[in-house]
Structure 1
Amino acid sequence: MTAETLNQLRTQISTLSESERAALAHELIISLDGPQDNAVEQAWNDEIIQRAANVKSGNATLLTREEFRKQMLERIG
């Protein structure tokens, strides 16, 4: 791609709305990740559903932001 073409794209992109630019950025980032692994996607979806169910049922141990930050600082430090 030439510098001129790239500059033309930048100009066109700058005319897009914020949500359109965000959608474009999302698509570009996804295109860098390579092919999608549906088994992995399903495993993550299952995990999210299970974690949400644990929170709703009261079976999850929740931390405040301060507690979480303290634990992370202890781990790295």
Structure 2
Amino acid sequence: MGNKLEMLQAEALQLTPGERAALAQPLLASLDEDADIEEAWAVETALRISDIESGVVQVIPIADALAQVRASLK
């Protein structure tokens, strides 16, 4: 198995940086042990974006948010 891995690695290192990145993404994703968590985050992100775009929630500038946090910590 080690020989096959070494051969694949040697071939992969001959790819362009963009090609290596494209290869690495699905390999890294395949290591994710809990795809349900990723799906849950994707759903939550979509809901939050929808709430912002529809006006259900209002965003505040980061400077204001940080000022509120700092004030609450005093």
Q: TM-score range by the shorter chain?
A: 0.5 to 0.7
Gaps of 5+ in 2: none
For normalisation by structure 1, the TM-score amounts to 0.55
**Secondary structure of the corresponding residue to residue 61 of structure 1:** coil
For normalisation by structure 2, the TM-score amounts to 0.57
Root-mean-square deviation over aligned CA pairs: 3.3
Describe how 1:38-53 pairs up with structure 2 within 5 A.
Answer: 40=40, 41-51=42-52, 53=53
Q: How much identity, in percent, do the aligned residues show?
A: 26
Structure 2 CA distance, aligned partners of 1:12 and 1:39?
A: 33
Per the TM alignment, residue 24 of structure 1 is displaced from its structure 2 partner at its CA by 1.3
Gaps of 5+ in 1: none
Structure 2 CA distance, aligned partners of 1:48 and 1:18?
A: 32
Q: Name the amino acid aligned to 2:20.
A: R
CA offset digits 1:57-76 (Å, max 9, x no partner): xx322225xx6xxx6xx8xx
Q: Choose 27-36 or 12-21, whichever is displaced more.
A: 27-36
Larger radius of gyration: 2
**Secondary structure of the corresponding residue to residue 5 of structure 2:** helix
